[in-house]
Amino acid sequence: MLAALRDGVEQLADSRQWERWLRFRRRFHRYSFHNQLLILHQFPEASQVAGYRAWQELGRQVRRGERGMAIIAPVALRRPGGPEAERLRDLELPLVTYRVARVFDVSQTEGPELPAPVGEMPAEAPPQVLERLLALVPSLGFIVEFSELRAGRRGDCSHVLRRIRVDQRLSPGPKVKTLSHELAHAILHGPEFTGSRELAELEAESVAYIVCQQLGLDSSAYSFGYVASWAGSGAAAARQISRSGQRILRAASEISRDRESSPQPVPLLPAAAG
């Protein structure tokens, strides 16, 4: 299964779908660390962020009444001439100032669907499959909440709150895949984890792919693109899958193992209001 995952993400990197997505991604700025903090402070669920005109160039329009997130944008100053130019050159001062700019998340816009390297997995799944995954949750010390999540988010995992959330609007198949992904985060990416978010997402989706395969669900259309997009390219993703192989297999084994005892009742939080 690891080999199939590696092959899948490598082949995706040579596809027309991947090239189209890369062209789209190049339209987005790479925000500085401080601007990332500003964005997350103002809009914690932000996923894809761009300025007002950039969204228009991508064929989408910011909805009326949406409030943009304030970031700090550099502005190049016009280089003076004469003696002043010589003085600035001697001081080696950068001719840059800064201003406040506004950016918007994709969830604040409307228009044609954006290109993506991921497809959809089958919608159906046997009901007992989800119950089997839920039976693992109490042993991890987590609770599960099914609710409506914002900004296109399918699920998340908080080690601070000891809580996993899954979007209740998902079909059974994607719901199983998402819960597998978040269970992998719960097992692999606690406070002791020191890797990057990109590595965490690659490992979690790799685990979800293997778990779904073992449960008879084919998530390859979604998982291949997800893994490749977080790793940066098909080849880079394949290398990292190999490096993380033991961790991925350990988590997949813990999630998929048969349980002889009857399932324990799983603590479920009520759906969020609205």
Say yes or no: 236 and 129 in one domain.
yes
In this prediction, residue 259 has a pLDDT band, given cuts at 50, 70 and 90, of very low
Q: Domain count for the chain, please give it.
A: 2
Q: Which of 58-67, 78-87, 252-261 has the highest mean pLDDT?
A: 58-67
Classify residue 83: in a domain, yes or no: yes
Residue span of the structural domain in which 221 resides: 2-16+116-269
Alpha helices in 189-244 (DSSP H): 197-214, 220-231, 234-243
pTM for the model stands at 0.69
In this prediction, residue 154 has a pLDDT band, given cuts at 50, 70 and 90, of very high
Calpha distance 158→101 (Å, rounded) = 31
Classify residue 35: in a domain, yes or no: no
Q: In this model, does residue 192 exceed pLDDT 90?
A: yes
Q: Please report the pLDDT score of residue 11 as a whole number.
A: 83
Say yes or no: 83 and 102 in one domain.
yes
pLDDT > 70: percent of the chain: 82
Say yes or no: 9 and 139 in one domain.
yes
Calpha distance 193→188 (Å, rounded) = 7
In this prediction, residue 37 has a pLDDT band, given cuts at 50, 70 and 90, of confident
Say yes or no: 56 and 165 in one domain.
no
Q: Which of 76-85, 157-166, 257-266 has the highest mean pLDDT?
A: 157-166
Classify residue 255: in a domain, yes or no: yes
Q: Domain boundary residue among 110, 131, 157? A: 110
Q: What is the pLDDT of residues 119-141, one digit of tens each?
A: 788 889 987 899 999 999 999 99
In this prediction, residue 270 has a pLDDT band, given cuts at 50, 70 and 90, of very low
Over range 44-66, report the average pLDDT: 89
Say yes or no: 85 and 128 in one domain.
no
Q: What is the mean pLDDT of the chain?
A: 83
Minimum mean pLDDT range among 38-47, 83-92, 159-168: 83-92
Say yes or no: 98 and 125 in one domain.
no
Q: Please report the pLDDT score of residue 258 as a whole number.
A: 53
Say yes or no: 196 and 139 in one domain.
yes
Over range 65-84, report the average pLDDT: 78
**Torsion angle, CA of 197/199/203/206, rounded to 10 degrees?**
100
Say yes or no: 125 and 228 in one domain.
yes
Say yes or no: 88 and 186 in one domain.
no
Classify residue 207: in a domain, yes or no: yes
Report the run of H or E that residue 101 belongs to, with start and end.
Answer: strand 96-105
In this prediction, residue 82 has a pLDDT band, given cuts at 50, 70 and 90, of low
Q: Please report the pLDDT score of residue 274 as a whole number.
A: 33
Say yes or no: 96 and 205 in one domain.
no
Count Cβ atoms below 10 Å from residue 145 Cβ, excluding itself. Answer: 19
What is the three-class DSSP state of 144? strand
Say yes or no: 264 and 163 in one domain.
yes
Q: In this model, does residue 265 exceed pLDDT 80?
A: no
Q: In this model, does residue 109 exceed pLDDT 80?
A: yes
Q: Please report the pLDDT score of residue 133 as a whole number.
A: 94
Classify residue 34: in a domain, yes or no: no
Say yes or no: 130 and 259 in one domain.
yes
Q: Domain boundary residue among 110, 136, 153? A: 110
Alpha helices in the chain (DSSP H): 2-12, 16-25, 33-42, 52-57, 83-91, 127-134, 137-140, 172-188, 197-214, 220-231, 234-243, 245-256
Q: Domain boundary residue among 110, 136, 151? A: 110
In this prediction, residue 18 has a pLDDT band, given cuts at 50, 70 and 90, of confident
